[in-house]
């Protein structure tokens, strides 16, 4: 008969195996979305795994919190380990003090490994230089909720100019647009007023620079 210590070791090993299998299962589901079939509809909403669900819930919670620029809460996106973790930055007290759109996306995708959020999420350039030649960069026509959508502004930089989070793609087929929740931008607040901060807005395909979809290995084990 195995000892208690041996059984506890077996349990730990099985728990790790379950987490690995769960990651593989989620990745397989994402891979399946890329395969065309006779009944394939590129505008369907995909299976939403726990990581995507949490990112969307966190984005909505911040939107509903009515975060207007400037706000003390923006410092959390920038300095907290739940965001990009740039703790050396000064507290955010003045509009335009820090380009925090990527920090907001990191706060939403807080399950992503901290090193990725800290080193890659902070700017469009970092996203493009690290992910532009990887399988994370996807066809904009296949954008889905939870994807990171980098859009152009008047600058039209090669890497794109502003980081957003897709929360709804239901109008992609009919209107050629998605709904985003984004930080450091102008758009609609929860009371339908217009302003700058954490806002919701429509983004048309012609605005898209790049779309990135996180891989299973980008997330911490749970």
Supply the pTM of this predicted model. Answer: 0.79
- Residue 31, pLDDT score: 52
Strands laid side by side in the 177-188 sheet = 137-138, 208-212, 148-151, 162-168, 177-188, 194-204
- Residue 4, pLDDT score: 75
- Residue 19, pLDDT score: 63
- Residue 148, pLDDT score: 98
Written as six digits, the tokens of 206 are 């012609």
Class of 47-218 in CATH: alpha beta
- Residue 42, pLDDT score: 38
Residue 162 CB partners (closer than 8 Å, separation 6+): 101, 124, 150, 151, 152, 153, 182, 184, 185
What percent of the chain stands above pLDDT 70? 83
- Residue 5, pLDDT score: 74
Dump pLDDT digits (tens) for 9-33: 777 776 666 666 666 655 555 554 4
Written as six digits, the tokens of 50 are 């726990």
Give residue limits of the domains in the chain. Answer: 1-31, 47-218
* Mean model confidence pLDDT for the chain: 88
- Residue 21, pLDDT score: 62
Written as six digits, the tokens of 47 are 């299976």
pLDDT-flagged residues of the chain (< 70):
1, 6-7, 14-47, 222
- Residue 45, pLDDT score: 43
CB 156 within 8 A of CB 149: no
Kindly report the three-state secondary structure assignment for every residue of 142-170.
Answer: HCCCCCEEEECCCCCCCCCCEEEEEEECC
Written as six digits, the tokens of 130 are 């690290």
- Residue 35, pLDDT score: 45
Written as six digits, the tokens of 201 are 């807005």
- Residue 43, pLDDT score: 38
């Amino acid at each position: 008969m195995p000892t208690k210590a041996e059984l506890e070791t077996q349990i730990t090993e099985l728990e790790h195996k379950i987490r690995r299998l769960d990651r593989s299962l989620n990745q397989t589901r994402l891979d399946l979305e890329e395969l065309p079939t006779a009944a394939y509809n590129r505008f369907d909403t995909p299976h939403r795994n726990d990581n995507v669900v949490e990112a969307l819930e966190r984005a909505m919670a911040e939107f509903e919190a009515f975060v207007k620029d400037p706000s003390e809460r923006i410092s959390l996106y920038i300095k907290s380990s739940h965001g990009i973790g740039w703790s050396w930055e000064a507290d955010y007290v003045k509009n335009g003090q820090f380009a925090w759109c990527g920090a907001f996306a990191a706060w939403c995708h807080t399950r992503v490994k901290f090193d990725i959020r800290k080193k890659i999420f902070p700017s469009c350039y970092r996203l493009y230089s690290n992910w532009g030649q990887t399988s994370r960069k996807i066809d904009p026509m296949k954008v889905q909720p939870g994807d990171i959508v980098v859009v152009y502004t008047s600058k039209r930089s090669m890497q794109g100019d502003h980081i957003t989070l897709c929360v709804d793609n239901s109008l992609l087929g009919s209107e050629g647009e998605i709904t985003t929740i984004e930080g450091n931008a102008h758009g609609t607040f929860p009371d339908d007023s217009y302003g700058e901060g954490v806002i919701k807005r429509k983004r048309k395909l012609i605005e898209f620079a790049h779309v990135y979809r996180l891989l299973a290995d980008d997330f911490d084990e749970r």
